[in-house]
Structure 1
Amino acid sequence: MYQLLHPTQSSIPSCIMFPPNAPHVEIKQGLMAILPDFRGLENENPYVHVRAFEEVIGSFYAQNVIETAKLRFFPFSLKDKAKGWLYTVKPRSIGSWGEMTQEFYKKFFPPHKVQQVKRKISSFIQGHDETLFMAWERFKDTYNFCPTHGYDTWRLVSYFYEGLQPRDRQFVQIACGGEFLQKEPEDAMDYLDEIAENSNT
């Protein structure tokens, strides 16, 4: 009875399963101190966390071991609620860095959150007291917040242009000789960057 009422804790295997040919990765001096933290809070962006994490790992490890290093040290960047989530992922279900990020995004940037960002992008409106520069920066922050929004460049340009106040829409057109809508999408993005910067200075 005592043993049944007080079971000893059995160790549960990690969700990470390294491939048999995975190289051995030594922990480098100072790595843990500069790993970014992700706690799973509502205002945290998992895409930004992964990018910051990859930058740190990329500065410590050579290309031939980098995938293994990312997989091995990612758990150390998770804290609190996010660390708890990692322990709930099915044992031995993740075998690559791609699978890890996929699970991570699915948990901390689920489809309904992606839809919220998409709605914010497609319904963008420049504020009445907002300069062209401020509007452009806010719009870029919105679509960069979720890189998987799925909108093509031409559509992003269109949403921004249509959301401008008439005065700034006219300014954008006049500044490029009335040819803004004839530009290639990538060129239009570069042009908006340039004109917004110029209008700010």
Structure 2
Amino acid sequence: MFKYKDTKNEVVCLMMFPLSLTGEAKTWLDKLNEGTIKTWDELRIAFISPFFPPALFDRLLGEIRAFSQHENESLTDAWLRMKEMLQNCLGHNLSKGNIIKKNYHDLSEITQEVLNAAAGDIFLYKTPNQAYQLLEDKVLLNLDWAKSQKTK
């Protein structure tokens, strides 16, 4: 995305959103009365209602709550699976801290120890942003390593 001078991210999102729509979603947006939606949150809630049924939301949120690392699943694969689940469940409203705690507690003990070692302390003693970044860095490092192994 782009940013012009002091333009807020929310304004940029509101400007770019219509460009991401096609078909039924584009028709829905075109039928909205101009000026009825003023914030990104208002748009998100208004958009989710007709296109994201409550039963689907409940099922996806239930899957997130039931998350656990599969046997023989790597940290990288478990984290990527969790992120995909979160992305698929629009409006889950889970904070980074809750996501980190949920993910950590549902990993195997061995994987928790790997995260603790990577953190240089107990992983959950990190701030949510630090813990999230540590997970992202570890996963990206593993993905880069796997990619370089494949090219060899």
Flag the 1:154–1:177 CA change in 2: closer, same or farther, 3 A: same
Q: Residue 136 of structure 1 aligns to a residue in which SS?
A: helix
The one-character-per-residue Cα deviations of 1:32-90 (angstroms, maximum 9, x if unpaired) are xxxxxxxxxxxxxxxxxxxxxxx6xx89xxx8xx89x96xx9499442x6578x4xx7x
1:96 is matched with 37
Root mean square deviation of aligned Cα:
3.5
> 1:100–1:122: structure 2 CA closer, same or farther, 3 Å change rule?
closer
**CA 1:177 to 1:78, structure 2 compared with 1: closer, same or farther past 3 Å?**
closer
Given residue 131 of structure 1, which amino acid in structure 2 is its aligned partner?
S
Secondary structure of 2:92 counterpart: coil
User: Please, what TM-score do these two structures have when normalized by structure 2?
Assistant: 0.66
Q: CA deviation at 1:113?
A: 2.3
Q: Which residue of 2 aligns with 1:167?
A: 110
- Residue 112 (1) aligns with residue 55 (2): yes
Normalising by structure 1, what TM-score?
0.52
Aligned residue type for 1:95: T
Question: Among the aligned pairs, what percent are the same residue?
Answer: 23
Helix, strand or coil: the match of 1:151? Answer: coil
1:38-187, aligned counterparts within 5 Å? 74=18, 77-79=21-23, 86=28, 95-96=36-37, 101-187=44-130
Q: Which runs of 5+ in 2 are unaligned?
A: 146-152
Deviation at 1:103, TM superposition (A): 3.1
Q: Which residue of 2 aligns with 1:50?
A: none
By how many angstroms is 1:160 displaced? 0.6
Distance 1:162 1:188 in 2: 13
- Normalized per residue, the structure richer in helix is 2
| Number of aligned positions between the proteins | 134
The one-letter code matched in structure 2 to 1:96 is: I
Of stretches 181-190 and 161-170 in structure 1, the one that deviates more from structure 2 is 161-170
Indicate if the aligned counterparts of 1:121 and 1:142 stay in contact, CA closer than 8 A: yes
1:187 is displaced (CA, Å) by 0.7
Is the CA contact (8 Å cut-off) linking 2:104 and 2:112 kept in structure 1?
Answer: yes
